[in-house]
Amino acid sequence: METNPIRVCELLVGLPDVNVLGVVDDEGEPLGVHVECRVARPRCAGCGTTAQVKDRPRIGLVDLPAFGRPTRLWWYKHRWWCPNPACGVGSWTGEDRRIAAPRLGLTDRAGRWVTYQVGRVGRSVAEVARELGCDWHTVNDTVLAYGEALVDDDPDRIGDVAALGLDETLFFRKGRWRTQQWATSIVDVAAPGGARLLDVVAGRSASGPSQWLEARPAEWRAQVRFGVLDLSGPYRKVFDDTLGHVTQVADPFHRAPRGARAPRRPGCLPSVITVAGRSWGPSWRRTCAVWDEAPRQRTARPAPSDGRGGLTRGEGIGIRIGYEAP
């Protein structure tokens, strides 16, 4: 058991190579933990002269709650300067990314935690910000910074996609008049283990998803076999322009009212959609059919027996899971 009070404090704070200067306990405020880095004086990158301390700027960072209480880490940084009059380096601030990335409002460990909570667990930014006792933007900026780094670091995340879905989503309402702001979700509809969101682009016109598709390699576009879309003109245009070879399949969520648009032409035979050896799932397979219609394959289908194919309006991207329902 550690009984040295300084070591006990360092163990509880849990940051590498820091001196804990003190703890501030103001009622109604987050717990304030004041620290500095334990560093030797660095050498100037320009001339090698040992640097001198110019200043000790203090920055406040949102940290993980300590024993259930919101916590702020007050970090007394070192601002160094080169005393060599012949050197032009001037001054610089000592950083330690184990504590926090420059310009972010959260500690590194809190940044990783909020990114996991929002990105993996699916909690809202507002809920996580409340738990940490901080501003919505502080959490959102951090989730974007860490999340984009994760996405950029995973070039294979898109993988091969046999059935590509486009769907408009009401993302949020902006401003005084609560103007609707739409986004387009780009989805791997037939991914193993359930539909997978590949990306989100702004707007619900053809341009966003078209640009996204044009940025993919030609080989990648060539292996897409089905385009899943609502019955809107813009998304049809996306597939016509950028993936002209795919079979366009109407999305069950957006399908026409019961029987209204099924082109029951003589000689048009319904067939069950199967992608990469996976069907759309029994409840959907029972009713989903594609009609080959010259010169372009178009699709329509009778209504599923339960009226919505087991899907619930307003579930956003979650409706894709319905495709793979048992």
Q: Which is nearer to Zn ion, 88 or 295 (CB)?
A: 88
Residue 314's nearest CA partner among 180, 123, 170 is 170
Cα 156-160-161 angle, rounded to 5 deg = 125
Q: What is the DSSP letter of 245?
A: T
Work out how close the CB of 54 gets to Zn ion at its nearest, in angstroms, rounded to a whole number: 13
Work out how close the CB of 95 gets to Zn ion at its nearest, in angstroms, rounded to a whole number: 18
Work out how close the CB of 84 gets to Zn ion at its nearest, in angstroms, rounded to a whole number: 5
Residue 39 one-letter amino acid: V
Q: Which is nearer to Zn ion, 46 or 263 (CB)?
A: 46
Decide: 289 and 245 in contact? Cβ < 8 Å: no
Work out how close the CB of 90 gets to Zn ion at its nearest, in angstroms, rounded to a whole number: 8
Residue 102's nearest CA partner among 142, 131, 130 is 142
Q: Which is nearer to Zn ion, 89 or 325 (CB)?
A: 89
Residue 134's nearest CA partner among 21, 29, 35, 57 is 29
Question: Tokens 């504590």 label which residue?
Answer: 99
SS3 label, residue 311: coil
Site string for Zn ion, 79-118 (x = CB under 5 A): ---x-x--x-x-----------------------------
CA torsion angle for 233, 234, 240, 241 (degrees, to 10)? 150
Work out how close the CB of 38 gets to Zn ion at its nearest, in angstroms, rounded to a whole number: 23
Phi then psi for residue 138, to 5 deg, are -60, -45
Q: Which is nearer to Zn ion, 91 or 271 (CB)?
A: 91
Is residue 51 a contact residue for Zn ion (CB under 5 A)?
Answer: no
Residue from 8, 21, 47, 202 in contact with Zn ion (CB under 5 A)? 47
Distances in Å between the Cα of 99 and the Cα atoms of 21, 30, 66, 107, 112 are 15, 18, 16, 6, 12
**Choices 75-83, 186-194, 244-252, 287-295 (CB under 5 A): range interacting with Zn ion:** 75-83
**Choices 76-84, 137-145, 212-220, 264-272 (CB under 5 A): range interacting with Zn ion:** 76-84
Work out how close the CB of 88 gets to Zn ion at its nearest, in angstroms, rounded to a whole number: 8
Distances in Å between the Cα of 20 and the Cα atoms of 7, 44, 76, 252, 307 are 10, 27, 10, 59, 63
Please count the other Cβ atoms lying within 10 Å of the Cβ belonging to residue 142: 28
Q: Which is nearer to Zn ion, 23 or 89 (CB)?
A: 89
Work out how close the CB of 87 gets to Zn ion at its nearest, in angstroms, rounded to a whole number: 3
**Choices 23-31, 39-47, 93-101, 110-118 (CB under 5 A): range interacting with Zn ion:** 39-47
Q: Which is nearer to Zn ion, 40 or 121 (CB)?
A: 40
Residue 235 one-letter amino acid: Y
Residue 128's nearest CA partner among 145, 150, 108, 106 is 106
Element spanning 239, H or E: helix 233-242
Residue 282's nearest CA partner among 292, 290, 272 is 272
Q: Which is nearer to Zn ion, 48 or 244 (CB)?
A: 48
Q: Total residues contacting Zn ion (rule CB under 5 A)? A: 8
Work out how close the CB of 76 gets to Zn ion at its nearest, in angstroms, rounded to a whole number: 24
Residue from 35, 44, 118, 183 in contact with Zn ion (CB under 5 A)? 44
Residue from 46, 90, 159, 192 in contact with Zn ion (CB under 5 A)? 46
Work out how close the CB of 93 gets to Zn ion at its nearest, in angstroms, rounded to a whole number: 15
Residue 36 one-letter amino acid: E
Q: Which residues bind Zn ion (CB under 5 A)?
A: 44, 46-47, 49, 82, 84, 87, 89
